[in-house]
Structure 1
Amino acid sequence: MTVATDPETVTTSPVLERDGGVWRLSGVLTVRNVSALAAELPRAQGALDLSGLTRLDTAGAYLLHSHSGALELTGLRPDHAALLDRVAGTIPQPPDPSRHPLTAAQILERIGRMVANAGGFLVEITDMLGLFLARLGRIARHPGQLPMTALVHHADQVGWRAIPIVSLMSFLIGVVLAFQGAVQLRQFGAEIFVVDLISISILRELGILLTAIIVAGRTASSFTAAIGSMKMREEIDAMRTLAIDPAMVLFVPRILALLITLPILGLVANVMGLFGGALMSWIELGISPAVFLTRLLEETGTNHVLVGFVKAPVFAIIIGVIGCHAGMQVRGNAESLGAQTSSAVVRAIFAVILADALFSVFFAMMDI
């Protein structure tokens, strides 16, 4: 009976032997037999002669490279040496722990790049705002071009469906303000002034600001995700091919829906915040709802209400423009979509808070 054998396995398996003071490696070193040599190679010291190596693949080259620090590889054929160099070049190098500190010039360069990027972002946002206003002007001249179905749909998405979370948030804010105000004002016997604290805080600042922050979190992200997904699927390019204006179809109904619904959400937030404050004042301080309402109407001027509602359209435009702009910046992969979505939320919330601070300074200077 004759047993067939693999001649390559019998005659060309890697052989590691010592010849005087030099270690020699001969045969074939490939992925089939690299594991057997990996257990023997650590005992070799000094120089390793590879002139007898007939075949070498990337697995064998990686094994030799991993021991090149303890061994001096000699006798390599040119093609084997080139393969070793190629394998060594693909192995990632750990970061250098001894990094030099940044110089003043490098710090200034980074600051300059950040300022330039911020300036470029402001220019792009201004372009998007101008595009929206231009399309809004076209709709004013030709009302039939307004995509009413899309407007109603987005008004439902950003307005009606946001009422529960806005109401709950505002109610709890009113409760917290009343409770904390009661704790502090009770020390001076001025519990009745908690009504003024609640009404001015909610009507002038917190009602519309916290509403805008919530809307920025849920709406800017949805705008970015929807427009970005359409851009990834090249639907926006298809619209342009079909002579459909993406700004008219995608941007105008979304931003216009925010312009319509954000003041309404602000009104809901004001009512629920005052209701929560009145309830906690009744429980904690014994201020009846009738007394609370009387104090509210007598001591709270309409200017506080107007200050809050003046901010709503500005916040709506900021959130809508940033969300739509981020959607148009999405590239053709999911990683870009996620990055732009999170970036839109952060930028929208930051811009809303910055705008609120500027409004506060302006109204204080105007003594309003």
Structure 2
Amino acid sequence: MQLVKVGLCAFGMSGKIFHAPFLKEHPGFFMSAVVERSKEESKEKYPDATIYKSVEEMLAHADIELVVVNTPVQTHFEYVKMSLEAGKNVIVEKPFTVNVAEAEELVKLAEEKGLFLSVYQNRRFDRDFLQVQKIMSEGKLGEIKETEIRFDRFRTTASGKAHKEDPQATGSGSLHDLGSHLVDQAVQYFGFPEKLFADVFSMKGEEFANDYFEILLYYKNDLRVRLKSSVFSKEAHYAYVIHGEKGSFLQERTDNQENELVAGSIPVYGKDWTIPLKETDGILNVLNENSETERTLTSSEPGNYMNYYQNIYEHIVFGYYLPSPAGEIIQNMKIIDAAWDSSKQGKVVEL
């Protein structure tokens, strides 16, 4: 099996949870280098990876062909550009960049260099997202008329992460953080909207970056898609609510890969590795061919973030499709930028 050598730009939560375990367990990747500016925590689990004190040092000396930029969003543009100019393919954490202009410049540079640039939209591999995709593809709901996608939390105090909570830091706040997931899911389900209206602000107060948003997306055929997130949600809502001309589907957010990885679970290459669901997590209520109501409790199939890296490997080795290519994610950035404009102006914004 061809071995792809990878360099990881940071070893914080993202590196420890979402990237390093999958790179280690996938037989086609070798984590050759990791950047740790002041610590050497990666040595315990990844002793074969050379530790560098900066991204610049890693790019100058490490024998790698793929770089994972998993640093704070405010540094994405700088480090992705630096990696591309060094001739490396790049995976960059979401959110891609802090604005559309940065995203477009990086996509253009990758094309000029003949390199690939993929955004790590891991929530496309969540069990709940995949279940909604499956239900809609089966056509049981008929034409979709209204959808709501939520990602709520109960985090009423400061997390201590300035790059996410400082209102003066461009790209901080829930709109870029969780919004990058919800916007991506809406675009995956329904494509690019025609216009939007948004309400974005901080429930915790002006000294914090935005922690609440509601975005209403307007599509052709009068479809409405609402994206919403709050940090004052102690009781969970259904994460996905889809209403169609033939019925409705309600899906809980039940993917637990992140929590299991935090607890020490090790992903397995080639098969499902998460703990099975003990209960149903969805409700499908539709009219059948005889116009009779059929209400069914549903269970989603396991998701697997390893599939993202499998797609990356197959792209490198066999030229198969690239997962979440950066050129595609520019659409998401346009929606996020427009949501900011809409909230500030208090009006509908054309896209």
Tell me, yes or no, whether TM beats 0.5: no
> Smaller-chain TM-score range?
under 0.3
TM-score by length of 2: 0.20
TM-score by length of 1: 0.19
